[in-house]
Amino acid sequence: MRRREVLNLLGALPVGGLSAAAGEHSVLLGNPADKLKLVVRDSGQPGPLYFVPHDDENIAVRAVERWWQSRPSGVLIELQQTGRRYIYQHLGGRRLWCDPNRMYSEPRVVAAQITALRPKCAVVPPAAASFGPTDLDLAGTHFARIGAQVLATLGEWLGRSYGPLVGLHNNTDGSLNVRSVFKRSEKPAVYRATGADPDDFFLVTEAGDFDALRTLGFNVVLQPARIADDGSLSVWAARNRVRYFNVEAQHRDCLDYDRARGHLDYQTRMLRALESLL
């Protein structure tokens, strides 16, 4: 089922659905011709500010849609462009790419993250060698400006008492888990729940939320207080004292509902647990 159909279905729900309140609008970002946008869906009820930065992480979106069938609350903001993980902009006649969860900082930091992208992500097709320092400066500045545009939209909702800020993500089996998200040298506090898939976990920035989620029996990692700025939203949130959760579950790229079902169920449970803390 496509998202539009899901929305229509939700709109038809008689009680507690999104019928009257499900406002949706878009905010264009960066170069208009590149069609990068935020899609904002307001449940009409105050609650969490859900943000999905990666356009290929659809199970996270479905988890909110499903959760809203029983309890609409907060606002869901998705960054959309190609349906892929990274976003692009045409700069100087070329298509340059950036991770949309690595652009919430100053241009220098964002530029460093662009150079760190894996080569297979084709940062600068076709010839990386032709990508000079000036291009990198240009890209760092441009994507940092897009990051600021996203933060301005998120800030609007935070200013209207929506919150906390909740980043929603999906990963692939074994690629990222509650123990690997930070380096051991950064000494994060980690709780590994018995029986839970280590790929399904919360990342939080406040110790009280770490304790509460551990008590509820979820995998959870507390972002270390002293951590290098990598342009990610969790680091931005900690530096700006914005209460932040990352809800991470397996099955990025997976549009096969049956294969993803277990993790969709689990991510929906995670949302329910998160809202029980508010």
172: how many CB neighbours lie within 10 A of its CB? 12
Q: Which is nearer to Zn ion, 105 or 234 (CB)?
A: 234
Interatomic CA distance for residues 230 and 82, integer angstroms: 24
Q: Does 54 bind Zn ion (CB under 5 A)?
A: yes
Query: Considering the complex, what minimum distance in angstroms separates the CB of residue 87 from Zn ion?
Result: 12
Minimum CB–partner distance for residue 252 and Zn ion (Å): 7
Nearby residues of 7 by Cβ (< 8 Å), 6 or more positions away:
18, 22, 24, 41, 65
Bridge-based pairing state of the strands 244-250 and 201-204: antiparallel
Residues 77, 83, 84, 88: is their CA dihedral positive or negative? negative
Nearer to Zn ion among residue 41 and residue 251 (C-beta): 251
Which alpha helices (DSSP H) does the chain contain, by range? 3-11, 58-70, 107-115, 133-159, 207-215, 233-239, 257-276
Q: Nearest approach, Cβ of 101 to Zn ion (angstroms)?
A: 6
The radius of gyration of the chain's CA atoms, rounded to the nearest angstrom, is 18
Per-residue b/e over 234-271, b at no fewer than 16 CB within 10 Å?
A: bbbbbeeebbbbbbbbbbbbbeeeeebeebbebbbbbb
Question: Can residue 263 be called a binding residue for Zn ion (CB under 5 A)?
Answer: no
Tokens of 206: 């406040």
Provide, rounded to whole angstroms, the least separation between the CB of residue 100 and Zn ion: 8
Among residues 54 and 251, whose Cβ is nearest to Zn ion? Answer: 54
CA distance 167 to 154: 11
Considering only 65-73, 153-161, 169-177, 226-234, which stretch makes contact with Zn ion by CB under 5 A? 169-177
Please report how close the Cβ of residue 203 comes to Zn ion at its closest, in angstroms: 11
**For Zn ion, which residue of 41, 169, 243, 251 counts as binding (CB under 5 A)?**
169
Whole-number minimum distance, CB 54 to Zn ion, in Å? 4
| Residue 102 within binding range of Zn ion, rule CB under 5 A | no
β-pairing, 165-171 with 49-52? parallel
When the beta carbons of 54 and 243 are compared against Zn ion, the nearer one is 54
Contact 47, 22 (CB under 8 A): no
The window from 52-60, 86-94, 108-116, 156-164 that contacts Zn ion (CB under 5 A) reads 52-60
**Rounded least distance, CB 199 to Zn ion, Å:** 13
Total number of residues binding Zn ion (CB under 5 A)? Answer: 3
Indicate whether 251 belongs to the interface with Zn ion (CB under 5 A).
no
Binding site for Zn ion (CB under 5 A): 54, 57, 169
